[in-house]
Amino acid sequence: ADWLKSVQNEDGGWGYNPGSPSDANSTSIVIGALARTGVPVNELTTKNGSTPYTALQSLAIACGEKDGGAFAYQPGKKGELAANMDATAASVLGLMGKGIASGTSNAVKDPSCTKGDDLSPEQTAQNGASFLADTLKKQPYLEQAPMPGAEESKPQPDYGNTSDAVVALAASGHADQAKASVAWLQKNGTGWAKQGGPAAT
């Protein structure tokens, strides 16, 4: 925990390696690790007053914009934010102060996207949950683009990110929004889980 705190970036987050730019996934994983050791994450402030939550919230796409509620992995070269499903699921957990293997939170009302410039970490997390829930209403699984050179040119089911989205929805109090996705994973994800190792199960 002390080492993680020592390599915190000035924007409040963490990158894949010490000193690399902060990203949503790395920051969320560190938040989960520190929270499990009892470290008050909101008190981990940098010299400019940024916290890990500040870093994650800076990657959130504002409600009302295209893909509002979603999170980017990192800003683009011009500071633009592009929705990333994996980063969104991770950020929901991170802003809730939870790790990857989170349990289910008490159910709350259906997720919605709240507009504003001064949202709390949990409000921003609920915005992410709203984006995930809306996306999974269209079909019970997320998709990934085909790999370069792959014979199949159509997007394929993304078992890993679908599983992450289910965990994020459950942890943010919306397990009911993930029921169809859980059923889909139970029916279609057995082979993936066997190939994916312990992390997949």
Looking at residue 170, its pLDDT comes to 94
Q: Of 91, 82, 101, nearest to 130 (Cα)? A: 91
Looking at residue 200, its pLDDT comes to 53
- The model's pLDDT over 99-120, given as tens digits with 9 standing for 90+, comes to 554 555 555 578 899 999 999 9
Cα gap 162→136, rounded to integer Å? 9
Looking at residue 191, its pLDDT comes to 81
| Centroid of chain to Cα 113 | 15
Q: Which two three-digit tokens encode residue 23?
A: 């990203």
Cα gap 5→84, rounded to integer Å? 26
- For the beta carbon of residue 100, count every other beta carbon within 10 angstroms: 17
Looking at residue 176, its pLDDT comes to 94
- The model's pLDDT over 127-155, given as tens digits with 9 standing for 90+, comes to 999 999 999 999 999 998 776 666 767 88
Cα gap 50→74, rounded to integer Å? 17
pLDDT band at 22 (very low <50, low <70, confident <90, very high): very high
- The model's pLDDT over 36-85, given as tens digits with 9 standing for 90+, comes to 899 999 999 999 999 999 999 999 999 999 999 999 999 999 999 999 99
**DSSP strand E in 3-56: where?**
none
Contacts of residue 58, defined as CB under 8 A and 6 or more positions apart, other chains included, come to: 11, 75
Looking at residue 104, its pLDDT comes to 53
- The model's pLDDT over 68-82, given as tens digits with 9 standing for 90+, comes to 999 999 999 999 999
pTM of the full structure: 0.89
For residues 90 and 189, the model is more confident at: 90
Looking at residue 190, its pLDDT comes to 85
For residues 76 and 189, the model is more confident at: 76
Looking at residue 110, its pLDDT comes to 84
How many alpha carbons lie under 13 Å from residue 100 in its C-beta half-sphere?
A: 15
| Long-range CB contacts for residues 178-185, cutoff 8 Å, separation at least 24 | 178/133, 178/136, 180/136, 180/140, 181/136, 181/140, 181/141, 183/140, 184/140, 184/141, 185/141, 185/159
DSSP state of 73: S
Looking at residue 107, its pLDDT comes to 53
Looking at residue 97, its pLDDT comes to 87
For the chain, state the CA radius of gyration: 17
Looking at residue 194, its pLDDT comes to 75
